[in-house]
Amino acid sequence: MGVALFLAINSNNPINPNNMKIKKVVCAPGKTGFFFDDQKAIKKGAKNDGAFYSGDPVTPGFTSVRQAGESISVLFILEDGSIAHGDCAAVQYSGAGGRDPLFLAESFIPVIMKEIAPLYEGKEITTFRKMADLVDKHVNADGKKYHTAIRYGVTQACLDAVAKSQHKLMAQVVADEYGTKISDTMVPIFSQSGDDRYLNVDKMIMKEVGVLPHALFNNVETKVGLKGEKIKEYLQWLRDRIVTKRQNPNYQPAIHIDVYGTLSIVFNNDFQRIADYLNELSEIVAPFELRVEGPVDMDGREPQIEALAKIRELLDAKGSKCQIVADEWCNTLEDIIAFSERKAGHMVQIKTPDLGGVNNAIEAVLYCKQHNMRAYLGGTCNETNRSAEVCANIAMATSPCQCLAKPGMGVDEGYMIIFNEMSRVLALKDVLK
């Protein structure tokens, strides 16, 4: 149900789109493009066993270290018979780094149908921002907001409903309401390799992916190296692989790896040693730009901000070309503002499901761009094709530095979904006004 289907509204229907209503809300349980993984258990040594992990879960709610990802499709049946659609989904490492708990369809469909459906059924479609606020700003009697995954999916459906009622692209609705301009080119797409960090890189090079490969360095002993030596070896291979296999000599991807805070362990949180190591990595991959996500995990927002601000200061002082990317403990719009104000990193991952409503992701990109912090419209491999399509529209309307290819870690599927949706937006944005 991407932009190619948004014209499904029956033009002969006499309903005035300016006061179209939502007739009914329907939920459908779904699967995501990856898994829920217990990050704490993995950091404590849970080992890969094929697609499984051995060992016992540590994070509350998990019944195994890795389990199937779940989603909920929220379907708004509109007055003219068309259907607006968003998908509720949560990140791969749910319950870690200050995030909401594990998101299971069986537990949360009743919440949506009992508490959220009445907010929309029989109501007029107004603006995206007003409709998103109904669920995203809602606070219950205990002073709590709805699970981030619920807010994520319902606000996607809100954006789609407004687009359908106005006969517009979702990107056009965002641009209109937030005063932006839809990009004239594709936003660079960041593709994830998962653990298959060699074969999947070849796929990325063939497709000339703009940012690569993520690489999933989430275990010191098996992937990072006790002195960080395994990352060095990998980056040397990666640099040489791009140079020798690219067919276009002008293909200059940015190299972006995620180390999941493991440098805290390797260097015992010695920030000078970490900065020196990161600078070494940037020299290994030259002439390609290097971005390192989550170099440390300080187990709390304030110490995380202090650590990333210090590491950035040390890197900048030596004129390093390495950029660090904030991720853990930078989950909400408020977090992103705090990290940006303190220059805690060079770039922030706007991990879309963690922010709740997609309205917050839009505001986060715009805030970063206005405050000298690079914006990465991210998310998780554990999303769906629908949430990816919506995010591609948001990226085209807000122009972050990069947008994550999602869901999954197989490269081809996630890259195809994001690339094709952006391409459709480019093809239609000047035709449909």
Active site residues per annotation: 351
160 marked as part of a ligand binding site: no
Residue 252 CA to residue 246 CA, distance in Å, equals 9
> Where do the H-state alpha helices sit in 65-147?
105-111, 117-120, 128-136
Is there a contact between 293 and 323 (Cβ–Cβ < 8 Å)?
no
293 marked as part of a ligand binding site: yes
In the chain, helix, strand, coil percent, each to 5? 45, 15, 40
Is there a contact between 212 and 253 (Cβ–Cβ < 8 Å)?
yes
Q: How, if at all, do strands 254-258 and 211-214 pair?
A: parallel
323 marked as part of a ligand binding site: no
Take residue 329 and report the two structure tokens written for it. 């403990």
327 marked as part of a ligand binding site: yes
Cα 2 to the chain's mean position, in Å?
A: 18
Residue 216 CA to residue 194 CA, distance in Å, equals 6
Query: Interior CA angle at 316 toward 311 and 322, to 5°?
Result: 75
Nearest to 99 by CA among 269, 292, 389, 335: 335
Question: In sequence order, what are the residues at sequence separation of 6 or more whose Cβ sits closer than 8 angstroms to the Cβ of residue 362?
Answer: 174, 178, 394, 397, 398
Take residue 253 and report the two structure tokens written for it. 């991807």
Cα–Cα distance list, 401 to 170, 179, 228, 229, 374 (Å): 20, 18, 28, 29, 6
252 marked as part of a ligand binding site: no
Take residue 148 and report the two structure tokens written for it. 């981030």
Residue 148 CA to residue 94 CA, distance in Å, equals 11
Type and span of the H or E element at 158: helix 148-166
Nearest to 188 by CA among 425, 422, 428: 422
φ, ψ at 160 (rounded to 5°): -65, -40
Nearest to 285 by CA among 213, 229, 236: 236
φ, ψ at 271 (rounded to 5°): -65, -30
Residue 194 burial (10 A CB sphere; 0-12, 13-18, 19+): middle
Type and span of the H or E element at 419: helix 412-428
φ, ψ at 40 (rounded to 5°): -65, -40
Q: Which amino acids are annotated as binding site for (2S,3S)-3-methyl-L-aspartate, given as ranges?
A: 192, 349
Q: Which amino acids are annotated as binding site for Mg(2+), given as ranges?
A: 258, 293, 327
Q: Which amino acids are annotated as binding site, given as ranges?
A: 192, 258, 293, 327, 349
